[in-house]
Structure 1
Amino acid sequence: MIRNLVLAALALLVAPAAAQTVHTVTGANPPAQYKVCAGDTLVLKKQMGRELLRDGSREKGWLGWNDRNRSNAAGNWFETIGATRLRFVENVQGKGWVYAPIDAAPCKAPSAQSAAATPPAHTARVAPLFGANLSGAEASGSDAVRPSAEDWRGYIDKHGFGLIRYPFKDDRMTPARVAELKVNISYAGGKRVPVILDNHTYRWDAPPKAIAFWTGFARNFPDDGSVLLDLVNEPRGFDDAVLTNDWDQWLRDSNAIIAGLRANGIRHPILLEYPQWSATFRFDKKEGAKKACESAGCAIDRGGGLKDPLGLTFINAHRYFDRGSSGTSNECDAKTSGFAEFAEQLRRRGLKGYITESAFASHYGMKASCAAVGVEAIAALRANSDVLLGITWWGGGRIWPESYIFKIDPPKAARFTAPTSGYVERLTGRR
């Protein structure tokens, strides 16, 4: 179920007539040599270390490149035949770190017959990650209804969700809670299901405070792409007395937080929400040149862009389909999801993103007004999976009463035994 983002990256690397190979450098005993051509990629479980120099060459004295596979603490040494230098391409969620040869020559092109039968790899579409929010740790009052180990297993094994977003409140993350969460994240990782850690406070902290919290918290979890950091849910409270435009402050502070986390050695992917409820349709308001920014897209365009030395920061948006996208009614007012338009706004800026809140029905059924937009939303996610990497639907977890309009779970007494609903089959991309 884990999405393979390698194919999208290859579009920038492949020579038009050259064959293309993805070398997956994992396992207990991978090959010691990989013959590489221009356009090929290598996928490593962990990021290369100091053997990879800034110009892509290898530090003198190293036996070879090192895959640092977890099953072997010392890693496995390997050589690239046909290239002496490598460059980092991107991190593939749930897979690993992608590198491409810099100085490799094109290999022999496939025959005309085989080329016609097999379309170029970089044109292939793969499904986004279909996931769910597993609520409870962010509940008002206490976290007594936080997801149990059984809930995690139910959502991953029974329901078949391929991505979990875990909303929490930062002040509740005691050592005991962190230890519990580590166990559950380890379970998800063993099933190849990434986890988004969502600081669900709505509170925009000054960069030093945000950096301090996330640096300490993130170090508890793997940084191999299986754990993503949602810095704050639907942020508000921008109060800089000098920089009065919230959007400008958002971009400035976001880049400062990203830089601080990377400087502290935090390599996890970062999911970045924005003011005005992180609504997809508010990402780009197409402000005129003489008008102040009123959207994240405008701030990014005018402020020099998002700056992440690892290239692992993603836009994080929300979308409900009732009037005003408030998420307070199970009647749908929207005719389309708007996901395709949002994807194009990201694509135009060279960005990628996730939708981490959306819903259009519940375990108990769907309003007639939501049927068409629900089908269109899932189709749009698939059609734009080059930039929309995944979605986590809202309404999961024991916290929600039976009457909740977006409740994913079956009745509490039967949540582990009831058949999977048709709605969940839609949410997981199975229909």
Structure 2
Amino acid sequence: MKAAFSPWRRMLTIAAAIVLPLHAGLAEAAGPCFRGINLSGAEFGNPGGEIFKDYAYPSEETIGYFRKKGMNIVRLPFLWERLQPELGQALNDDELQRIKDTVTLLRKYKMSVILDPHNYAQYKKAQVGTPPVTTLAFADFWTRLAVEFADQEDVIFGLMNEPYDIASDKWLSAANAAIRGIRAVGAGNLILVPGTKWTGAHSWQSDGPGGPNGTIMLGVKDPRRNYAYEVHQYFDSDSSGTHEECSGNENARKAIVSMSDWARKHGTRVLLGEFGVSQAPECVAGLKAVLDTMQENGDVWLGWTYWVAGDWWPQTEPLNVQPHDGHERKQITVLEAAAKAPAPAEDACRTRGR
């Protein structure tokens, strides 16, 4: 069922039109339209696991908490294999309904959602573009999912989480096939296109199998011209997000500046789909620097979603900002300030990219 038409949704649909250069003006300095959080949990466990035992979708309490912090979008990870147990076959009704119920709950709080198959360009450990996970199989999945959410402008299609170990030209072919399938069923939703090499902002213009993302991914073909590039960036020494330290603070900030310049040069938009730090004071300071840099380059940054939160995330996870027993994480102060920073007015968002 499509969401009721509202001024909020009008803002989102126009904000999603992103590929043409912007006109100069106040809107450019107002920062990203979307400021949000990854609510993780539905991608937990092995495919076919039991709901609320092996994996879980976000609760209303958690959604309400982050909405109060000023956030207006959630990136929602889930497993491709769980939603589509057999390639080329129908989506699982129960799992699809869980996603729909979560979208409805987010809509209640006036939050948009990025649907994120959290699969690293793999299905049952086979790489996209390799039989049986052919490019057509990937396109089939997105065609089926797009039908269910077509033209719900507060639903954004994130094609894939962090493709890796796949050549960039091979991944581009798969991404374009999925985009063709989405548009073929009449879905005009905003599409987020990642690159390869974990879609790192710091490595976006570095060479690799198939060529640099910054060159190859310019080959995205969308007849609706309604897409943005999704990049990720962490602050530790190897930009992996697997260490508590943040010796890569300055590298992360420079990566955001470099991505800003690249997007501006090519008249396109980017969204920072994952980034996160521990509670260490120097790491929180690095987080603020990156958020400030995106705010300053709001003409090209469509938005950001911090990694990570979710009802099942433990206190021991350094990057986690899920509150526990009434205690908030130190990162949340900086995130809340950025979420509530000057934002484009509704009319400004409507004209972004048009």
Which residue in 2 is equivalent to 1:424?
332
With CA pairs under 8 Å and 6+ residues apart, which has the higher RCO, 1 or 2? 2
The Cα shift of 1:402 comes to 2.0
Partner residue in 2 for 1:355 = 272
1:367 pairs with 2:280:
yes
Task: Note the C-alpha offset of 1:407.
Answer: 1.3
Residue equivalent to 2:350: none
Quote how far apart the aligned CAs of 1:403 are: 0.8
What value does the CA root-mean-square deviation take over the aligned residues?
2.8
How many residue pairs get aligned? The number is: 303
Q: Using the TM superposition, give the Cα deviation of residue 264 of structure 1 relative to its aligned residue in structure 2, in angstroms.
A: 2.4
CA distance in 2 between partners of 1:261 and 1:120 (Å): 33
Question: Is 1:224 paired with 2:152?
Answer: yes
1:345-367 residue CA offsets vs partner (Å, 9 max, x unmatched):
12211221111110012xxxx21
Q: Distance in 2 between matches of 1:351 and 1:175?
A: 36
Following TM superposition, the consecutive aligned residue runs of length 4 or more in structure 1 with deviations greater than 6 angstroms are none
Contact 2:62 2:310 in 1 (8 A): no
Shift of 1:218: 2.4
Once the two structures are superposed, residues 7-43 of structure 1 have per-residue CA deviations (whole angstroms, 9 ceiling, x without a partner) of: xxxxxxxxxxxxxxxxxxxxxxxxxxxxxxxxxxxxx
Quick one: which of 76, 80, 92 aligns to 1:170? Answer: 80
Structure having the higher helix fraction is: 2
1:277 corresponds to 2:203: no
Q: What is the distance in 2 between the residues matched to 1:321 and 1:340?
A: 14
Residue ranges of structure 1 left out of the alignment (5+ in a row): 1-45, 47-67, 72-90, 99-118, 239-245
- Distance, in Å, in 2 between the alignment partners of 1:422 and 1:147 is 24
Question: For 1:212 and 1:262, how far apart are their aligned partners in 2?
Answer: 12
The equivalent residue for 1:310 is 224
Q: Distance in 1 between matches of 2:267 and 2:213?
A: 14
Question: Counterpart in 2 of 1:199?
Answer: 117
Q: Report the residue type matching 2:313 in the other structure.
A: W
Q: 1:176: Cα distance to partner?
A: 1.8
Q: Is 1:70 aligned to 2:5, yes or no?
A: yes
SS in 1 for 2:276: coil
Counterpart among 132, 141, 146 of residue 37 in structure 2: 132
Aligned-partner SS, 2:77: strand
Residue 258 of structure 1 corresponds to: 179
Give, in whole Å, the separation in 2 of the partners of 1:215 and 1:384: 34
Q: Which residue of 1 aligns with 2:344?
A: none
Q: Is the 8 A contact 1:215 1:266 kept in 2?
A: no
Contact 2:153–2:190 (CA<8 Å) still a contact in 1?
yes
Counterparts of 1:34-73 in structure 2 under 5 Å?
A: 70=5
Which one is further off, 122-131 or 133-142? 122-131
| 2:107 partner letter | G
Partner of 1:328: 242
Identity rate, percent: 27
TM-score when normalising by structure 2: 0.77
SS in 2 for 1:164: strand
Unmatched runs of 5 consecutive residues or more in structure 2: 18-23, 84-91, 123-127, 342-354
Structure 1 length as normaliser, TM-score? 0.64
Confirm whether residue 339 of structure 1 aligns to residue 256 of structure 2: yes
Tell which structure's C-alpha radius of gyration is larger.
1
Task: Report the Cα offset of residue 315 of structure 1.
Answer: 0.6
Matched residue, 1:377: 290
Does residue 154 of the first structure (1) align with residue 67 of the second (2)? no
Alignment match, 2:161: 233
- Rounded to whole Å, the distance in 1 between the matches of 2:223 and 2:65 is 34
**Conserved 8 A contact 1:151-1:397:** no
1:48-100 deviation per Cα after TM superposition (whole angstroms, max 9, x unaligned): xxxxxxxxxxxxxxxxxxxx9738xxxxxxxxxxxxxxxxxxx95356787xx
